[in-house]
Amino acid sequence: MKTVKILAIMEKGPDGLYSVYSDDHFGNSYFGGFGDSVSKAKADFVVSIREAISEQTQAGYSVPKIEDVVVTYKYDLPSFFNCFDFINVSKFAEFAGVNESKMRAYKSGVSYPGEKTTARILKAIQHIGSEFLSVSL
């Protein structure tokens, strides 16, 4: 079977827990995950995909194997900084051209950036990613 792509939305809830969900599904089986960290929510999400594959296979439907599933995560900023906790928020704010105290508020989920600021942050993240891709050791 060909590769199946799933878009997963990762968010930090008001209770401090992380959730991941998707509008994608296999038959009547949807995916979701929860945890007190992004990594735990992701692991729970993968379990739900495995369960959906099992349920739909048992029901006689053709579904992909887990190795054919590719999940792309879309993060809110608190989830992004939890997942990539090695990023120094102060240095990142300076690099992205965002006020440091505002960036800390975005990281914690106390406030949320507007469209222009979000675009600036995403551009900085993508720039860092392209820099990493060009590294050779």
pLDDT at 126: 97
pLDDT at 92: 97
DSSP string for residues in 84-104: TTTS-HHHHHHHHT--HHHHH
Pick the CATH number of 4-76 from 3.30.1330, 3.30.160, 2.60.40, 1.10.1760: 3.30.160
How many helical (H) and strand (E) elements, i.e. helices and strands, does the chain have? 5, 4
Predicted structure pTM score: 0.89
Domain positions in the chain are: 4-76, 87-133
How confident is the prediction along the chain (137 residues), in pLDDT tens digits per residue? 689 999 999 999 999 999 999 999 998 899 999 999 999 999 999 999 999 999 999 999 999 999 999 999 999 999 999 999 999 999 999 999 999 999 999 999 999 999 999 999 999 999 999 999 999 99
